[in-house]
């Protein structure tokens, strides 16, 4: 029997089904408690979690509702994971959280990871880097360089990065972008990460915009505040930055000199920090009210299409906004609007055809890759479900595409990998 589902600002999700009709009650209760700093997700968790929903049952294939790996309309791009990509070098290296991925003009794939997440405070209690201790405590392992380059076949090309002279390396690595000149840009989202950095492809420092720990808020034209995404627009030679985890804006600089050019907030409004703090962990009751929607809340990505439209991820508000390069507002779309996790708009990539007919959105809350018609902003389908096995995803935080139509997904918190999804053509029929 064919699965009937509707596209109306997003697909009904399992987490929302679980919360269901309780949402209004939860928000009312939160308002009564004056829990302005408490997210809707935290409020829901306080009601309790059933960690054993199948206790007393024997679950067999075919029992219960089916939750398909992919749902799609006819004519939607199809993908298959390449479980052997990349060919990780035999260096006794290990990756930490991998928040960002990029593809350069040669088709090579770049990733940025967070070595400090291997410090024993998170998954594995530091057992993955015992060989890096002094003296070594086990045979495994040492942190890989924070920036790594692979060719399209997955062969290791080079790795570099980390603190050095003349620049302020970020406290917590976040995004990576390779511009049309082949230069590598990175950002960070640590507490004092108010800067972005530019390097040559072999790691030579070129420029820093902003200074660690110097942010003066969303109207500061010299510093960022946990900047999240970077895009260099060749037509104007400008660097666009989604800024960010705390600031509420897109800000633009000259890509050669670092000189400030312009900035804007949601709907092209002037950024205004007085309308609540950004909440990267998810919306509070106040964040879903109309006044809050007039400003960004966790501006998490920026990408520019071939026809010159600027796509901006407003993650905590579960929406994508579209602008002209001068900041003129064009349109918006909400993705899984009722999700109350950290947000459903982590990253954006485009299909490889000249018109870039399709757009791919990484969603670290619902653990999907959403496929949209780029012009109409209508959802065509989604694929991937949460998990650590090949083809599944865990905190899908960054996304990029290559000239062959393949997609690369960076798995952020506790994911520790980049996945390659190989383009297999367009579906001839809708999913069942």
Q: Per the domain annotation, does 8 fall within a domain?
A: no
Domain count, the chain: 1
**Mean pLDDT, contiguous 10-residue spans, the chain (432 residues):** 37 37 35 56 90 93 90 97 95 94 98 90 64 91 96 97 98 98 98 98 98 97 98 98 96 98 98 88 88 95 98 97 98 95 95 98 96 98 94 95 98 93 97 90
What's residue 278's pLDDT? 86
CA 241, CA 329: separation in Å to the nearest integer?
17
CA 266, CA 297: separation in Å to the nearest integer?
9
Q: Per the domain annotation, does 129 fall within a domain?
A: yes
Q: Per the domain annotation, does 136 fall within a domain?
A: yes
Token duo for residue 179: 């511009």
Helix (H) or strand (E) holding 293: helix 290-293
In CATH, what number is assigned to the domain containing residue 131? Answer: 2.120.10.30
CA 57, CA 63: separation in Å to the nearest integer?
11
Report the alpha-carbon angle 174-180-183, nearest 5. Answer: 50
CA 27, CA 24: separation in Å to the nearest integer?
5
What's residue 31's pLDDT? 36
Q: Per the domain annotation, does 431 fall within a domain?
A: no
Backbone angles phi, psi at 207, to 5 degrees: -160, 150
R_g over Cα of the chain:
21
CA 170, CA 186: separation in Å to the nearest integer?
9
CA 176, CA 100: separation in Å to the nearest integer?
6
Residue 427 neighbours by CB under 8 Å, 6+ apart: 72, 73, 74, 75, 76, 77, 78, 381
CA 157, CA 160: separation in Å to the nearest integer?
11
Tell me the per-residue pLDDT of 84-113, one tens digit each, with 9 for 90 and over: 999 999 999 999 999 999 999 999 999 999
What's residue 370's pLDDT? 98
Q: Per the domain annotation, does 107 fall within a domain?
A: yes
Please answer whether residues 400 and 109 qualify as being in contact, where contact means their C-beta atoms are separated by less than 8 angstroms: yes
What's residue 281's pLDDT? 87
Burial 371-395 (b: 16+ CB within 10 A, else e): bbebeebebbbbbbbeeeeebbbbb
What's residue 147's pLDDT? 98
Residue 31 neighbours by CB under 8 Å, 6+ apart: 285
Q: Per the domain annotation, does 7 fall within a domain?
A: no
Burial 59-95 (b: 16+ CB within 10 A, else e): eeeeeeeeeeebbbbeebbbbebbeebbeeeeeebbb
Q: Per the domain annotation, does 5 fall within a domain?
A: no
Cβ burial of 425 (10 Å; 0-12, 13-18, 19+) is exposed
What's residue 126's pLDDT? 63
β-bridge mates for residue 93, sequence order: 142
Tell me the per-residue pLDDT of 358-380, one tens digit each, with 9 for 90 and over: 999 999 999 999 999 999 999 99
User: Rounded to a whole number, what is the largest CA-CA distance in the chain?
Assistant: 66
What's residue 29's pLDDT? 36
CA 241, CA 174: separation in Å to the nearest integer?
13
Q: How many CA atoms lie within 13 A of 82 on its CB side?
A: 18
Domain range holding 124?
14-426
CA 401, CA 414: separation in Å to the nearest integer?
22
What's residue 280's pLDDT? 87
Q: Sign of the C-alpha dihedral, residues 216, 219, 221, 227?
A: positive
Q: Per the domain annotation, does 6 fall within a domain?
A: no
């Amino acid at each position: 029997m064919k699965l009937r589902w509707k596209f109306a600002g997003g697909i009904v999700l399992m987490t929302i089904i679980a919360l269901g009709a309780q949402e209004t009650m939860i928000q009312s209760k939160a308002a009564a408690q004056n829990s302005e700093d408490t997210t809707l997700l935290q409020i829901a968790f306080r009601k309790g979690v059933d960690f054993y929903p199948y206790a007393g049952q024997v679950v067999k294939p075919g029992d219960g509702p089916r939750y398909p790996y992919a749902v799609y309309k006819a004519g939607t791009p199809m993908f298959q994971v390449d479980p052997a990509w990349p060919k990780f070098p035999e260096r006794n290296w290990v990756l930490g959280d991998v928040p960002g991925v990029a593809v350069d003009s040669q088709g090579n794939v770049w990733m940025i990871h967070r070595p400090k997440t291997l410090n024993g405070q998170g998954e594995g209690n530091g057992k993955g880097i015992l060989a890096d201790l002094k003296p070594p405590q086990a045979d495994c392992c040492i942190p890989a360089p924070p920036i790594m380059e692979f060719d399209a076949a997955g062969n290791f090309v080079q790795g570099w990065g980390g603190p050095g002279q003349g620049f302020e390396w970020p406290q917590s690595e976040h995004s990576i972008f390779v511009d049309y000149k082949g230069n590598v840009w990175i950002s960070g989202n640590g507490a004092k990460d108010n800067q972005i950095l530019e390097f040559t492809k072999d790691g030579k420092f070129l420029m820093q915009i902003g200074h660690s720990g110097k942010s003066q808020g969303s109207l500061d034209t010299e510093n960022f505040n946990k900047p999240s995404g970077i895009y260099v627009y060749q037509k104007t030679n400008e660097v666009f930055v989604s800024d960010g985890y705390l600031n509420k804006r897109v800000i633009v600089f000259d890509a050669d000199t670092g000189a400030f050019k312009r900035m804007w907030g949601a709907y092209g409004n002037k950024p205004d920090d007085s309308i609540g703090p950004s909440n990267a962990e998810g919306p509070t009751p106040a964040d879903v009210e109309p006044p809050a929607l007039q400003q960004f809340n966790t501006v998490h990505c920026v990408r520019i299409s071939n026809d010159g439209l600027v796509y901006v991820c407003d993650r905590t508000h579960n929406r994508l906004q579209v602008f002209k390069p001068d900041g003129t507002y064009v349109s918006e779309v909400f993705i899984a609007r009722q999700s109350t996790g950290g947000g459903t708009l982590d990253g954006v990539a485009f299909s490889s055809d000249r018109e870039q007919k399709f757009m791919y959105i990484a969603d670290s809350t619902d653990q999907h890759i959403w496929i949209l018609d780029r012009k109409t902003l209508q959802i065509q389908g989604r694929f991937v479900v949460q998990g650590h096995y090949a083809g599944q995803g865990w905190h899908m935080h960054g996304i990029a595409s290559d000239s062959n139509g393949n997609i690369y997904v960076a798995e952020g918190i506790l994911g520790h990998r980049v996945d390659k999804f190989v383009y297999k053509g367009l579906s001839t029929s809708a999913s069942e």
